[in-house]
Amino acid sequence: MVTTASSRVESLASSGLKSIPKEYIRPQEELTSIGNVFEEEKKVEGPQVPTIDLKEIDSGDKEVREKCRQELKKAAMEWGVMHLVNHGISDELMERVRQAGQKFFELPIEEKEKYANDQASGKIQGYGSKLANNASGQLEWEDYFFHLVYPEDKRDLSIWPKTPSDYVEVTSEYARQLRGLASKILSALSLCLGLEEGRLEKEVGGLEELLLQMKINYYPKCPQPELALGVEAHTDVSALTFILHNMVPGLQLFYEGKWITAKCVPNSIIMHIGDTIEILSNGKFKSILHRGLVNKEKVRISWAVFCEPPKEKIILKPLPETLSETEPPKFPPRTFAQHIQHKLFRKAEDGQSN
């Protein structure tokens, strides 16, 4: 089924409708926890997503370096999500990435449709919106653009936006630099688990096989934001996910039984630990449940880059070094593809039981 301009959330949002179609309305049990995201972001009481300063992660001073690693370890174990600052990617490059994506989404919908994906035929890269293929038939208040951005020899540049003209150059440079940051984080997390520095990198595919997939999420203004979600609650299947956004709040994390709204931290990159690292660490590092709220005043855009292991080549299971007599494996061995299928199957079962 090829979607049409009329099935885009942006079309709905710009049509002047006052109430949203029922497919976008969340189930009653979810509605009680959806608040005004701007009010939620202002809250100063209660837990806050940690900010990790990476400036000293490679310091020549062993103690300084170790202190930085311990902060990263604590955030990975307790939260599984954090704001990274002094991450080594320039503000200028991040701003160019944001501008390029924003300009693409400012194109008329008819222009964007030239890049439409076709999920039914397995063509998942390109411009899209969620189809009602989940068990509850629910839709999310977002359109997106999805494409593999690294390794460079695995990209399909024919489906990348031609407008703006610097899109390919800027996105490619950002992907290269993010890949370096991913290596740095994986090295530090390996050492935090008492492993050799290169171990986690190797376990998720190394330079040749770890795939970086970028999804630009475009959340139009929503006339009834208290009834909808931009992205429903989920954990990321990736090893790591890196997120840029346009400084409009929306990300919420399910922490200690409550939804916590992430603050907008200037020049930061949000990083999630994904299921893949949670499995390899036998649950020592967390893959946190999260979701995206929408609002009626401002368009929100986020740039998520998922660092994913190859689908079939690697068996994901807790590393022997993370196990002991008192800590048996919490996860059975599965390929990455099997893990994704297992999650979809469980979700379908949950949907039927609701």
Name, in order, each residue with C-beta under 8 angstroms of 158's C-beta and a sequence gap of 6 or more: none
Query: Any catalytic annotation for residue 87?
Result: no
Asked if 292 and 248 count as a contact pair (C-beta separation under 8 A), the reply is: no
Backbone angles phi, psi at 240, to 5 degrees: -135, 150
Query: Any catalytic annotation for residue 313?
Result: no
Tokens 């194109």 belong to residue: 107
Tokens 């008329």 belong to residue: 108
Name, in order, each residue with C-beta under 8 angstroms of 20's C-beta and a sequence gap of 6 or more: 12, 141, 222, 223, 224, 227, 228
DSSP annotation of 313 reads T
Which helix (H) or strand (E) segment holds residue 304: the answer is: strand 300-308
What 3-state class would DSSP assign to 233? Answer: strand
Which one is catalytic: 112, 130, 147, 215?
A: 215
Please choose, from the candidates 336, 333, 343, 345, the residue with its C-alpha nearest in 3D space to the C-alpha of residue 306.
336
Which one is catalytic: 130, 245, 286, 290?
A: 290
Percent of the chain as helix, strand, coil, to the nearest 5: 40, 20, 40
Q: Rg for the chain (alpha carbons), in Å?
A: 20
Whole-angstrom Cα distance, residue 179 to residue 189? 15
Query: Any catalytic annotation for residue 154?
Result: no
Q: In DSSP terms, which residues pair with 144 in a beta bridge? A: 128, 217
Which one is catalytic: 42, 234, 258, 342?
A: 234
Query: Any catalytic annotation for residue 350?
Result: no
Whole-angstrom Cα distance, residue 224 to residue 36? 10
Which one is catalytic: 130, 236, 245, 284?
A: 236
Neighbours of 313 (CB within 10 A): 11
Whole-angstrom Cα distance, residue 172 to residue 227? 37
Asked if 197 and 187 count as a contact pair (C-beta separation under 8 A), the reply is: yes
Whole-angstrom Cα distance, residue 137 to residue 130? 10
Residues marked active site are found at: 215, 234, 236, 290
